[in-house]
Structure 1
Amino acid sequence: MDSIKVHNSLRPGPPVPFTPIEKGKVSWYACGPTVYDHSHLGHARNYVSTDIIRRILLHYFGFDVKFVMNFTDIDDKIILRARRQRLLEVEKAKQYTEVELAELGTTAFRAYAKNNLPKLLEGDDSPLGLDEYIRRRDTAYGQVLAGGTLTGEGKPGDDEAKLKMHISNMNYAVDAIRNNQLFSGAEEILLPYFDSLYKESLDTSDQTIFTSLTQLMENEFTKDMDALNVLRPDVVTRVTEYVPQIASFVERVVDKGFAYEAEGSVYFDIAAFEKAGNIYARLRPESRNDKVLQEEGEGSLGKSLGGKRGPSDFALWKKSKPGEPYWPSAWGNGRPGWHMYVICDPSLLRYGNGSRMDLHSGGIDLAFPHHDNELAQSEAYFCEHGHEHTWVNNFLHMGHLSISGSKMSKSLKNFQTIKDALATTYTARSMRIVFLHGRWNDGVEITPSMRTQADTWETTVNNFFTNVKSLLVEANDTTAAITNGAKGLTITENEPVEGLLADLEQAKKDVDAALSNSFDTPQVIRVIADIIRKANIRIGTPNNISELPALESIARWVTKIVGILGLDANATPPYEGLGWASAITSADIDPTTAVKPYQAVYNSVLADAKALDLPTSETLSNLLSQSPESEFGSLVEAGVRDPEQLGLPYLRATSKLRDELRRIVPSSSPETKKAILSLSDRIRDFDLTNIGVYLDDRPDGQPSLIKFIPAAELIAARDDKAAKDAEKAKAKEEARLAREKAEAEKWEKAKVAPQEMFKNDERYSEWDVEGMPTKLKDGSEVSKGQLKKLKKEWDRQNKVHGEYLTKFGGS
């Protein structure tokens, strides 16, 4: 653990040593979401990557991690969204005539254009109407709509994405106004308009206006994280639950001379902070004078607040204006500034009342001004004059997810929600694998090739687990193979490490080095793929029983690593199983019920086999009279509760009977042969497929391998094969019909005697005795050149006509 290094934003460059304040323990504060809307894939990128690192620290390196996350449940975005939704509800309840609605829509439409798309109004003093909107839009912003940039240089980014969002809102509004569907189609232009008119009319002492939204969205976020197998925080804080503590925090910063009150708001005094020997903007010093980022940090509702001493000073406490929630304070009614939301209760962290922490994490877009301001205000709070105070030892910034060159963002409306992504595009595992393929601190744009790479990796791991489990079952001929390893094939301590075992030891070293090197999961993914590739070579080797101990060891190690990375939602530490864990726990299992699907298949196959007119043999007789019940009973007595293990006695009996039936096909009568092959295919493709079992038929008389694969996957593959087979059959039939048609047309043409072939051609008026044209329609002679070409045609027809007469007769 002493060799762990991390990318620390406080020390740009290569990874630096990670040394916790207290040995074996890690205190970690993570910026949670601003809960005003559904979470999207950009949030998934942040919180899944955070979860991966947390799991590695917990379950690989063995740290005791105290993980605190804050939910921002009051800020400018929340205030605006909640307030506007309430105002919209009020307006919807009013009785508007169609004329009034149209006028309202047009007025809101023009106001939205003025505030967000000013070029629509340039050079034309006439009011913007619906009819000329498209023309003005294409003139003013056609370059951006065609994929260009506002400046005409570089690649499109956030500014172009925001502009396209505004244009999209206007487009929808045009249709909504014209179709008298204003409230259902033009909300995005109505919301800011109503807010500009009526925001001061709301009684914001009723804070349910805001908390009803945030509580709903927090619950949705938690559901999304659960669905993504993200561990829940040890402690959750919410801003609104700690406002008195935040106010006290601000008072102390003021008392220490690092903040000042102005017009009812309190601002952090950057000049005083630096004069005392502290450093501001430690994370992003190059951004400290970026006015755009500073304004975004203060929020859209903070623009009208005044009294700042320095242009970069930021609000610790904001005076609440009409239409905003408020709490009492020494400076009057107000609310916390955005950067005050960190560690609502400092005592929640482990060290010195929150004065120090090992890790602080969040998205890279928060580095400045949010995290830089958090650092400044907290270091001001804890520091003593003349002594610097280190509040955060390591800052981890997750790279953001981008789409078409812009970060995925709610404000840009270029996002896909987590819920929608899981319903249509990803599984929790496949999404996590995509993120594991990139470094946590790098930006990522998901491409089709990246998805293919991740899907291929997942398939490789799935198949490896399936094959190893199948080989173990076959080798031991008992379900104990899966839980205890292949019987009699365990590795002794004194056995020399070579071959696959040596490869495994090297893989372990490589993964340890990768995880110690700032949690380098792309390298871990590569190491796993490489060791599986080497193992698969041995799996494909005939008589590979001597390799089973090594194969099993590799499979169990891979199981452990993918468990630590959070890829198995059903597994629990220390991840010592083999393959993906079952969603069903032992306590949920009734053995008799669990085994019924396997038992039913075996009984059906047995009855159908007995009904066949089979050749007599001792082997076949034994298989037809075998009883898996005793082995099943032994498993139940031994405490086995895994459905697959309980079903193995019946599956083995089914597989052995099917293998023997296939073996005797050559010695069976034609009718019996046909029946056996039909039954064999049905067992594999339907009976077993439908219960999630695949029989892998092998050459050279080897027994079929029993593989447990999710039924949905097998059925999908079967249906896909059936569809492809049907498509091939259709194409084959169409080709046959086309050939028959061409053949018919050929002989129909050949049916005409060469003496008659030119007689119906209107280009000619006279012919000789052989039917060759001699004069054209106008009475002129056919030229020698033309006659030469016509004679070639005549000779060809004479030949095929002869073939026709030979084939069909006639004269």
Structure 2
Amino acid sequence: MDSIKVHNSLRPGPPVPFTPIEKGKISWYACGPTVYDHSHLGHARNYVSTDIIRRILLHYYGFDVKFVMNFTDIDDKIILRARRQRLLEMEKKKPYTETELGELGMAAFEAYAKSNLPKLLEGDDGPLDLDNYAPRRDAAYGRVLAGGTLTGEGKPGDDEAKLKMHIGNMTSAVLTMRGNHDDKLLFSGAEEILLPYFDSLYKESLDTSDQTIFTSLTQLMENEFTKDMDALNVLRPDVVTRVTEYVPQIARFVEKVVEKGFAYEAEGSVYFDIAAFEKAGNTYARLRPESRNDKALQEEGEGSLGKSLGGKRGPSDFALWKRSKPGEPYWPSPWGDGRPGWHIECSVMASDVLGSRMDLHSGGIDLAFPHHDNELAQSEAYFCEHGHEHTWVNYFLHMGHLSISGSKMSKSLKNFQTIKDALASTYTARSMRIVFLHGRWNDGVEITPSMRTQADTWETTINNFFTNVKSLLVEAQDTTSAAENGVERLAIATSEDKPHEGLLADLEQAKREVDAALSNSFDTPQVLRTIADIIRKANIHIGAPNGNLELSAVESIARWVTKMVGILGLDANASPPYKGLGWASAALSAQVDPATAVKPYEAVYSSFLSDAKSLDIHASEAWTNLLSQSPGLEFDALVEAGTRDPEQLGLPYVRATSKLRDELRRIVPSAAPELKKSILSLSDRIRDFDLTNIGVYLDDRPDGQPSLIKFIPAAELIAAREEKAAKEAEKAKAKEEARIAREKAEKEKWEKAKLAPQDMFKSDERYSEWDTEGMPTKMKDGSEVPKTQLKKLKKEWDRQKKAHGEYLTKFRGS
């Protein structure tokens, strides 16, 4: 096994060797979500990628990982969201008249435009109103709405996405307000412009000593986030921390930083003193030195409610403790009532659980500056002794963004799809994880149709391979023995240092390639390519015409692939050490009652057996033996042996059903017509309906070979059956339409042929005289018919004569 190397944001460039502080153990703090809204695919990208690395460290390398994650349950976004929702609820209870509602809407409309879309206020057609909004919008921002940029150069990004969001809010409000002053509709359709307006008017009236204003929101969203992560098969943290449970510790932490001279109090707030920190020999902005003077990022890190706080000595100094203004939650502190700054929260919680040093710290790439850089600075200031630089984090892992049309997926930009919606419509937890596995965890990802196709193809390849291997093992009727033989062969070869050959050599090479990929900063795209390649080789071997199938080697590959997809988190039902076969083999273990699990298979067999006995088949010895099969005895033996996999428990009944059906297929060529019809009908019903409905597919093979038994999800089989039926119905419909068209054409043909050639030109008003055969001789004006025209008419006359002759022969017998 190669030594692990990781991309470490503290040391930009190629991956660096990973050496834990304590051998065999890893301490890890991950920045969790700010719980003020539903989680979206951008969160999924971050936390699923984090989970993949965590699982690799746990279940591939065998580390003892202590994984800590926080919930930010108080910050500016939460305060604004919760406070505005409470104010909206209060406004809904007020007895507004229709006129007052209209005035309220317009006041909010103008205030929102002034704050977010000031160009809408520029115009020579009077004040902004509902009528001139659309033309002003198109004139001022049409280029962005058409997919361009604000500057007219480059590709659209976050600024354009934010602008579109504001325009969308304004447009929605216009549509709601136009001709409608119903309070319920106004408060829903124009909510996005009303919320900031109410906040500007009434925020100071709220009694924020009642912290349920905020906790009712955060507790709800924390529960929703946890449900989303469970649905995505993300392992839960070993330790969860919440900011509101750490406020006293945060205040003490800040006090110590102040005492050390690295922070100062100003107007009731406390700021980190970057100049003092660097003067003591420390380095600030170690993760993103190029961003240290980025004012926009600094302001975003301080939060929208921190803009009015004053007293900073340096423009880049950041808040450790914020004086709470009216309308904000507060806690007591040496500097008066206030609340923690955003960055200090993680420093305190991580250090409380993991101590003064940790191996890993992770989060989305957008947190690198200023959040993580500020965390590093304040934590190193807290722990440093005698001015010596302290290492708080050894490795920083930053997950790449998920982008949509060039902009990061973001709640604030409202350009996101929630995890719930994605799982209910376009993804499964497995397919989403496979998409993320196809990209490096530290690279940005923009989901494209080609990426989805690539992921779907990979999943289908793995699924089909598992299904086929299981089928071959069922056919061999010795699954356990084959598995043991495969493992035994590998062990013998290894112990005696004998070189592997064929598929086993390919498997060992694949293992080496996967080990190298995972050691190279968890290169999961290469892992997926290697898995697909070894399956390709196994499939070629399975399909080879020589018939020399090394089933134990094929099974060994399948079991190794099972282990790898388990480690990567692609089987929500599996657990370490992933010794089964397939996505979910041996997964349902103790939770499954064998008698309940086997009922569907037993019912199909019993029904089939009854119908088969009713057929008038000459009682051959083979047929008699099959009718007296005892799958129940085999089932009892499996239960006694402790088997709890539903497929394995049902296999005796499925195998008995398949054998009975195979014998019917052997009999059918020599059966009498009526019996043949009955056998084929029963055989098709068993395969296409009874077994399909319980997730079993019988793959019929030629030359008297037994059918292969394949366990495939019933939903997939039913969907395939319905698609096949739809295609057949469409084909039958097209055939019928073609028949009708042919009959119509045939009818029209003979109807036309009924006319004798002598009469075909008599009704044509262009002509005035005809000869004895009915050919025109003079035009309507008395002139001779032109020779060129006459030649053409003669060809038509000859064709009609022939057709009329055929008509007479067919219908009159002459």
TM-score w.r.t. structure 2 length? Answer: 0.96
Q: For residues 344-366 of structure 1, give each alpha carbon's deviation from its aligned partner in whole angstroms, at most 9, with x where no partner exists.
A: 3355444xxx2211111000111
Question: Is 1:627 matched with 2:630?
Answer: yes
Which deviates more from structure 2 when the two are superposed, residues 144-153 or residues 484-493? 484-493
- Aligned partner of 2:302 in structure 1 is 298
Residue among 329, 332, 336 paired with 1:328: 332
Alignment RMSD = 2.0
- Aligned partner of 2:748 in structure 1 is 745
Code of the residue aligned with 1:239 in structure 2: it is V
Code of the residue aligned with 1:134 in structure 2: it is A
1:388–1:546 distance in 2 versus 1, CA, 3 Å = same
The answer to whether the 8 Å contact 1:199/1:322 transfers is yes
The answer to whether the 8 Å contact 1:148/1:156 transfers is yes
Where do residues 353-372 of structure 1 align in structure 2 (5 Å cutoff)? 354-372=355-373
The answer to whether the 8 Å contact 1:32/1:71 transfers is yes
- Aligned partner of 1:549 in structure 2 is 552
SS at match of 1:37: coil
The answer to whether the 8 Å contact 1:36/1:78 transfers is yes
- Structure 1: distance between partners of 2:288 and 2:778: 95
Q: For residues 269-305 of structure 1, give each alpha carbon's deviation from its aligned partner in whole angstroms, at most 9, with x where no partner exists.
A: 1111111111111111111111111111111111111
Where do residues 60-75 of structure 1 align in structure 2 (5 Å cutoff)? 60-75=60-75
Code of the residue aligned with 2:458 in structure 1: it is W
Question: Is 1:14 matched with 2:14?
Answer: yes
The answer to whether the 8 Å contact 1:25/1:65 transfers is yes
SS at match of 2:271: strand
Code of the residue aligned with 1:199 in structure 2: it is K
The answer to whether the 8 Å contact 1:685/1:718 transfers is yes
- Aligned partner of 1:163 in structure 2 is 163
- Structure 1: distance between partners of 2:215 and 2:57: 35
The answer to whether the 8 Å contact 1:434/1:450 transfers is yes
SS at match of 2:240: strand
Residue among 519, 523, 530 paired with 1:520: 523
- Structure 1: distance between partners of 2:482 and 2:217: 49
1:525–1:109 distance in 2 versus 1, CA, 3 Å = same
SS at match of 2:28: strand
The answer to whether the 8 Å contact 1:479/1:645 transfers is no
Question: Is 1:427 matched with 2:431?
Answer: no
Q: CA deviation at 1:735?
A: 1.7
- Structure 2: distance between partners of 1:487 and 1:543: 24
The answer to whether the 8 Å contact 1:298/1:314 transfers is yes
The answer to whether the 8 Å contact 1:70/1:343 transfers is no
Q: CA deviation at 1:787?
A: 2.8
1:348–1:245 distance in 2 versus 1, CA, 3 Å = closer
- Structure 2: distance between partners of 1:593 and 1:403: 46
- Structure 2: distance between partners of 1:512 and 1:348: 35
1:487–1:407 distance in 2 versus 1, CA, 3 Å = closer
- Structure 2: distance between partners of 1:763 and 1:331: 110
Q: For residues 96-143 of structure 1, give each alpha carbon's deviation from its aligned partner in whole angstroms, at most 9, with x where no partner exists.
A: 122221221122112111211111112336221111111111111111
Code of the residue aligned with 1:499 in structure 2: it is G
- Structure 2: distance between partners of 1:327 and 1:380: 24
SS at match of 2:31: strand
- Structure 1: distance between partners of 2:174 and 2:320: 42
- Structure 2: distance between partners of 1:483 and 1:222: 38
Question: Is 1:716 matched with 2:703?
Answer: no
Where do residues 632-671 of structure 1 align in structure 2 (5 Å cutoff)? 632-671=635-674
1:348–1:807 distance in 2 versus 1, CA, 3 Å = farther
The answer to whether the 8 Å contact 1:472/1:481 transfers is no
Q: For residues 309-359 of structure 1, give each alpha carbon's deviation from its aligned partner in whole angstroms, at most 9, with x where no partner exists.
A: 111111111111111111111111111111112143355444xxx221111
- Aligned partner of 2:382 in structure 1 is 381
The answer to whether the 8 Å contact 1:73/1:238 transfers is yes
Code of the residue aligned with 1:685 in structure 2: it is D
TM-score w.r.t. structure 1 length? Answer: 0.96
The answer to whether the 8 Å contact 1:246/1:336 transfers is yes
- Aligned partner of 1:390 in structure 2 is 391
Q: CA deviation at 1:528?
A: 0.4
- Structure 2: distance between partners of 1:645 and 1:271: 69
- Structure 1: distance between partners of 2:77 and 2:250: 20
Code of the residue aligned with 1:690 in structure 2: it is N
- Aligned partner of 2:793 in structure 1 is 790
Code of the residue aligned with 1:193 in structure 2: it is Y
SS at match of 1:631: helix
Where do residues 133-212 of structure 1 align in structure 2 (5 Å cutoff)? 133-178=133-178, 179=180, 180=182, 181-212=185-216
Q: CA deviation at 1:264?
A: 1.3
Code of the residue aligned with 1:229 in structure 2: it is N
Q: For residues 646-688 of structure 1, give each alpha carbon's deviation from its aligned partner in whole angstroms, at most 9, with x where no partner exists.
A: 2222111111111011011111001111111111111111111
1:582–1:510 distance in 2 versus 1, CA, 3 Å = closer
- Structure 1: distance between partners of 2:321 and 2:58: 37
The answer to whether the 8 Å contact 1:358/1:392 transfers is yes
The answer to whether the 8 Å contact 1:470/1:707 transfers is yes
Identity of aligned residues (%): 85
Where do residues 585-604 of structure 1 align in structure 2 (5 Å cutoff)? 585-604=588-607
Question: Is 1:400 matched with 2:404?
Answer: no
Question: Is 1:239 matched with 2:243?
Answer: yes
Residue among 804, 807, 813 paired with 1:804: 807
SS at match of 1:803: helix
Question: Is 1:271 matched with 2:314?
Answer: no
Code of the residue aligned with 2:356 in structure 1: it is S
Which deviates more from structure 2 when the two are superposed, residues 124-133 or residues 770-779? 770-779
- Structure 2: distance between partners of 1:778 and 1:89: 91
The answer to whether the 8 Å contact 1:70/1:341 transfers is no
Q: For residues 446-469 of structure 1, give each alpha carbon's deviation from its aligned partner in whole angstroms, at most 9, with x where no partner exists.
A: 111111111111111111111112
1:673–1:491 distance in 2 versus 1, CA, 3 Å = farther
Q: CA deviation at 1:441?
A: 0.5
- Structure 1: distance between partners of 2:297 and 2:37: 22
Question: Is 1:261 matched with 2:265?
Answer: yes
- Structure 1: distance between partners of 2:793 and 2:133: 67
SS at match of 2:757: coil
- Structure 1: distance between partners of 2:239 and 2:482: 38
1:452–1:276 distance in 2 versus 1, CA, 3 Å = same
- Aligned partner of 1:87 in structure 2 is 87
1:679–1:481 distance in 2 versus 1, CA, 3 Å = farther
Q: CA deviation at 1:486?
A: 7.8
Q: CA deviation at 1:64?
A: 0.8
Residue among 678, 681, 697 paired with 2:681: 678
Code of the residue aligned with 1:516 in structure 2: it is S
- Structure 1: distance between partners of 2:639 and 2:285: 65
SS at match of 1:653: helix
- Structure 1: distance between partners of 2:763 and 2:251: 105
Which deviates more from structure 2 when the two are superposed, residues 693-702 or residues 518-527? 693-702
Name the count of aligned residue pairs.
807
1:287–1:30 distance in 2 versus 1, CA, 3 Å = same
Code of the residue aligned with 1:633 in structure 2: it is D
- Aligned partner of 1:457 in structure 2 is 458
Which deviates more from structure 2 when the two are superposed, residues 371-380 or residues 613-622? 613-622
Which deviates more from structure 2 when the two are superposed, residues 734-743 or residues 221-230? 734-743
- Aligned partner of 2:537 in structure 1 is 534
Code of the residue aligned with 1:185 in structure 2: it is G
- Structure 1: distance between partners of 2:546 and 2:611: 33
Q: For residues 17-39 of structure 1, give each alpha carbon's deviation from its aligned partner in whole angstroms, at most 9, with x where no partner exists.
A: 11111111111110000000000
- Structure 1: distance between partners of 2:351 and 2:345: 14
Code of the residue aligned with 2:563 in structure 1: it is K
- Structure 2: distance between partners of 1:187 and 1:293: 28
Question: Is 1:755 matched with 2:773?
Answer: no
Question: Is 1:30 matched with 2:30?
Answer: yes
SS at match of 1:153: coil
Task: Specify every segment of 5 or more residues in structure 1 that has no aligned partner in the other structure, as ranges.
Answer: none
Code of the residue aligned with 2:624 in structure 1: it is S
- Structure 2: distance between partners of 1:772 and 1:509: 91
Q: CA deviation at 1:750?
A: 2.4
SS at match of 2:348: coil
